[in-house]
Amino acid sequence: MRSFKWLLVIATVALQTSLAPAQTAAPRDALAMMQTFVSGLGVKCDYCHVGGMGRMAGGAQQAQAQPGQPPSHMEVARNMMAMVKDLNERILPAATGKDASANTRIQCVTCHRGVAIPGQLSDIMAKAAFKDGGEAAVAQYRDLRKLYYGRQAYDFGEETLITAASAMATNKPDDAAALLKLNLEFYPQSIRTYTQLAYTYTRKLDDDAAIATLEKALEISPDNSMVKGQLEQLKSYHRK
| Of the listed ranges 18-22, 201-205, 229-233, the one predicted with least confidence | 18-22
Task: Map out the domains of the chain as residue ranges.
Answer: 4-83, 116-148, 158-236
What is the percent of the chain where pLDDT is above 90?
27
Q: Which fold does the domain 158-236 belong to in CATH?
A: 1.25.40
What's residue 33's pLDDT?
73
CB neighbour burial string for 65-81, b if at least 16 within 10 angstroms, e if fewer: eeeeeeebbbeebbeeb
Using an 8 Å Cβ cutoff, are 84 and 103 in contact?
no
Measure the CA–CA gap between 156 and 149, rounded to whole angstroms: 13
State the burial class of residue 87 (Cβ atoms within 10 Å of its Cβ: 0-12, 13-18, 19+).
middle
Measure the CA–CA gap between 187 and 29, rounded to whole angstroms: 25
pLDDT tens, residue by residue, 179-220? 889 899 999 999 999 999 999 999 999 999 999 999 999 999
Query: Which residue, 220, 223, 221, 173, is CA-closest to 196?
Result: 173
pLDDT tens, residue by residue, 145-190? 887 777 654 567 888 888 888 888 888 888 889 888 989 999 999 9
